[in-house]
């Protein structure tokens, strides 16, 4: 039997999961779970590059795991775990840091952007973040990494680091490919549709756990334009185009069907209809998440078993790397 390709991906528990996280990432993960060998991680170590309230970080890590399951990720088919529970990530990160050039890290777009946003807290962790991300991927010999366009640069650096290491020590790492799913909807902010929907922008963002009335209010206030035509035109009508993308992703309709449905109807009918579609899409996920969070023992069993399986795979790679660089076996 042909071996399944391995996928690794993770989301930071630095804020509550959004409609963008669901439509752009998690929904696609669910579609991949039968075809691939998948590891999905809650990357809590990455989250602390920006100051976090410890109790909130713990709460969100568990909530995120519950949401993964509520969105349809099956713990029997996927390895789901918390990054800090697998020490091999940090251990491999140190070795890879010794094979990463200072100049490569200083050119990272995200580092430049976050340094401006957090000018009073530019830490070494923020600078070396892409090395830990490379370790996350390479420690599992992942073939594919589902990423948005904004993370492609990190996967390219990961490949460069792995190639450099493989040049010194052949056949150590699998070179991962960025995997940009065809069906991944890029969801933009409801308040500023030129920006991606972000968990740090509460007004332009719909959270998975938002109450129906809050979702409706956010969609009714969503930015559109001074025309009334409901048609897709990303350049001239970014707000309406974003709402159409969300509507199609929530209902499974094609863009053409959606445009026909709202032809001649105006935004007063269109915006609440998008809100309703999202409310119905999120309702079962929100209810199931709430139910799972009341069963702490079940969630604990998922992340402990996940960390055990992940550690088994990660330690195989780490032993190989440690031997190649010349460390004495433990």
Please give the Cα distance from 232 to 239 (Å, whole number): 10
Which of 5, 27, 77, 114 is catalytic? The answer is: 114
Catalytic annotation present for 196: yes
Widest CA span of the chain, in angstroms? 73
**Cβ atoms 61, 82 nearer than 8 A:** yes
User: Helix, strand, coil shares of the chain as percentages rounded to 5?
Assistant: 55, 10, 35
Catalytic residue selected from 5, 77, 199, 220:
199
Whether 199 is catalytic is yes
Residue pair 44/57 in contact by the 8 Å Cβ criterion:
yes
Query: Could you confirm whether 220 is annotated as catalytic?
Result: no
DSSP letter assigned to residue 329: P
Q: Which residues contact 319 (CB under 8 A, 6 or more apart)?
A: 329
Interatomic CA distance for residues 250 and 183, integer angstroms: 12
Tokens found for residue 21: 């996280």
Active-site positions read 114, 196, 199
């Amino acid at each position: 039997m042909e071996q399944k390709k391995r996928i690794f991906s993770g989301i930071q528990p630095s804020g509550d999961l959004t409609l963008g996280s669901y439509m752009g990432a998690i929904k696609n993960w669910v579609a991949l779970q039968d075809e691939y060998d998948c590891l999905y991680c809650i990357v809590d170590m990455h989250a602390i590059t920006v100051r976090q309230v410890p109790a909130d970080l713990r709460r969100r890590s568990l909530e995120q795991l519950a949401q993964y399951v509520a969105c349809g990720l099956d713990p029997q088919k996927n390895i789901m775990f918390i990054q800090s529970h697998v020490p091999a990530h940090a251990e491999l990160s140190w070795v890879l840091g010794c094979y990463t050039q200072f100049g490569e890290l200083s050119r990272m777009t995200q580092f430049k952007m976050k340094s401006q946003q957090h000018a009073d807290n530019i830490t070494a962790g923020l600078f070396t973040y892409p090395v830990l991300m490379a370790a996350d991927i390479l420690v599992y010999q992942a073939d594919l990494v589902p990423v948005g366009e904004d993370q492609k640069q990190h996967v390219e650096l990961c490949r460069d680091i792995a190639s450099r290491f493989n040049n010194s020590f052949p056949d150590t790492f699998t070179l991962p490919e960025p995997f940009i799913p065809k069906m991944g909807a890029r969801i933009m902010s409801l308040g500023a549709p030129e920006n991606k929907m972000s968990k740090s922008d509460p007004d332009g963002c719909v959270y998975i756990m938002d109450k129906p009335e809050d979702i409706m209010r956010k969609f009714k206030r969503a930015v559109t334009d001074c025309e009334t035509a409901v048609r897709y035109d990303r350049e001239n009508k970014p707000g309406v185009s974003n709402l159409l993308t969300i509507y199609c992703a929530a209902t499974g309709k094609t863009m053409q069907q959606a445009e026909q449905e709202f032809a001649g109807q105006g935004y007063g009918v269109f915006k609440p209809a998008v809100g309703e579609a999202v409310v119905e899409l999120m309702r079962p996920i929100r209810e199931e998440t709430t139910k799972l969070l009341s069963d702490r023992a079940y969630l604990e069993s998922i992340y402990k078993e996940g960390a055990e399986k992940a550690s088994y795979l990660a330690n195989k790679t780490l032993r190989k790397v440690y031997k190649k660089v010349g460390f004495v076996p433990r």
